[in-house]
Amino acid sequence: MNTYMENQNTVKHNWYIIDAEGKNLGRVATKAATVLRGKHKPTFTPHMDCGDYVIIINAGKVNLTGNKLNDKMYYNHSGYPGGLRERNAKLMLEKYPEEMVERAVKGMLPKGRLGRQLFTKLYVYAGSEYEQVAQKPVALEID
C-alpha cells in the first residue's frame, strides 16, 4: 500500500473566513496557519501548496493576554546604521492591526519558497468589510 500524494491537478482550494473579534492573537494565527498549510485535510502533502485561502476580519479587535500589549515589541531595521525601529503591541494594534496579525501567521508558516507562496493566500482586514465576497467564504470557528 502506497502513501497518497496529492498533485497540483487534484488540489481543490476552498475559502475560509475567521472573525478575530475578541479572540486571542495566537489562537487566530495558529488556526489560519493550519488552514493555509492544508494540515486540516486528510490529503495533506508537506512539500505542496494543498491549503486553502484564509480571510481574517476584525484584526483591530484581536485580544492579547497578560501584559503583552505593553511588553511585546516589534522590530524593523532599514539596513542603515541606526535604522532600528521598535514598536510595542499597543501601537501596532492601533495603527497597523493587519501587519500585526500577518506577522503572527507568517512566523508559523514554513520558511522558504513554499512559505512565501502560502502567505499570498492570506487576506487580513482591520474591520468587518472584505473584498472577497464573490468567493463565498465559509466561516471558521476558533475554539
Give the separation between CA 53 and CA 122, rounded to whole angstroms: 6
Residue 22: predicted pLDDT? 95
Checking if the pLDDT of 61 tops 90, the result is yes
Residue owning grid cell 489560519: 32
Looking at domain 15-64+98-139, its CATH class is alpha beta
1 pLDDT tier (thresholds 50, 70, 90): confident
The pTM score is 0.93
Q: Is 37 exposed, middle or buried (0-12, 13-18, 19+ CB in 10 A)?
A: buried
**Amino acid identity at 133:** V
The domain ranges of the chain are 15-64+98-139
Split at pLDDT 50, 70, 90, the class of 29 is: very high
Closest CA to 24 of 60, 64, 73: 64
Mean pLDDT computed over every residue of the chain = 96
Q: What is the pLDDT of residue 91?
A: 97
Residue 97: pLDDT over 90: yes
Burial of 109 (0-12, 13-18, 19+ CB in 10 A): buried
Closest C-alpha among 48, 52, 51, 39 to residue 6: 48
In degrees rounded to 5, what are phi and psi of residue 56?
-115, 120
Q: Name the DSSP letter for residue 32.
A: H
Is pLDDT at 92 greater than 80 in this prediction?
Answer: yes
